[in-house]
Amino acid sequence: MQTNVKKILIKTKRQIFSEIIGNNSSLLKGEGYDFLELKEYEYGDDVKNIDWMISAKFKKPYVKVFHAQKELNINIVPILSGSVYFGLKKLKQDTIVEVCSILGFCAIKQNDPFSSFIANEDLKPCTKKSKRFFSVNTMCDKISTYSCIGKSVNYNNLTSSLFKTIKHKSIVFLIGDFFNAKDLDLKLLSKKHEIIVIIVRDDFEEKPLVLGNVNLIDANTNKKFNIDLNKQTIKNYVKEIQKNDHMLFEHLQTCNIRFTKIYTNELVLSKLLKLLK
């Protein structure tokens, strides 16, 4: 296992198991630990759940209703195209490893099983359904060492493969930089599963500097090209990025999908906690 992966695992494991992070609560009513509401006593209700103070006040028996504690199915899907192998100070691929590590440890802390896949041109299994720390280590090691250069994303194949592969209702985390959002359609998948999208970007991608003539390589296709990064070129480029993101955000909101954007220079855990609360 690479040194950077070990550091990420140690850091994220300490964060998850030292921070006070509450469990996700099901909206189903039933036996559990999280209080939901009070209701009038009905025949068959457990008398142990009667709230005697409220019952005395209203002169009617009231019982406490709790959230059902139901095991969640978690699926972690990093989208590893060539473009994630980029970052001025930290690679987007390393940030994705950190995101996946946090999600894996969160699932274990909640006693929920998680599976993982690697997606780009097709969908590849990464780790099987598990509640073990070893699976988080294996997942992160595979994502970190995965050779993503020369790989592009086939969103149609990704969504159809996930729809066929994941049989039971699950929480599916999609993690990637989500360029070319016009090809992304999550309508059908979001009806079957709860989808959460995590967009990982480097700040330089959205706010490039004027560098003049530079030689670049498209990491998705390995094609080399020369470009003049002047003010007008950057203005046109930024306009296209904003157009892509507007289309992406609009689509996610239409599908009632929660999402966030994390930059490589940001604190990953704090952004994820805001998303998951």
Task: Using 50 as the pLDDT threshold, list the residues of the chain that sit under it.
Answer: 20, 22-32
- pLDDT attached to residue 251: 96
110 and 63 in one domain? no
pLDDT in tens, 195-221: 999 999 999 999 988 888 888 888 888
41 and 16 in one domain? no
- Report DSSP letters for 148-167, one per residue: -TT----HHHHHHHHHHH--
Boundary-marking domain end, from 52, 67, 82:
67
243 and 113 in one domain? yes
224 and 153 in one domain? yes
- pLDDT attached to residue 71: 75
Compute how many other C-beta atoms are within 10 angstroms of the C-beta atom of residue 6: 13
52 and 14 in one domain? no
**How many domains does the structure of the chain reveal?**
2
Residue with tokens 């209703």: 65
Q: What pTM was estimated for this model as a whole?
A: 0.81
88 and 206 in one domain? yes
58 and 152 in one domain? no
- pLDDT attached to residue 43: 74
CA distance 3 to 272: 24
209 and 182 in one domain? yes
Which structural domain, as residue segments, surrounds residue 61? 29-67
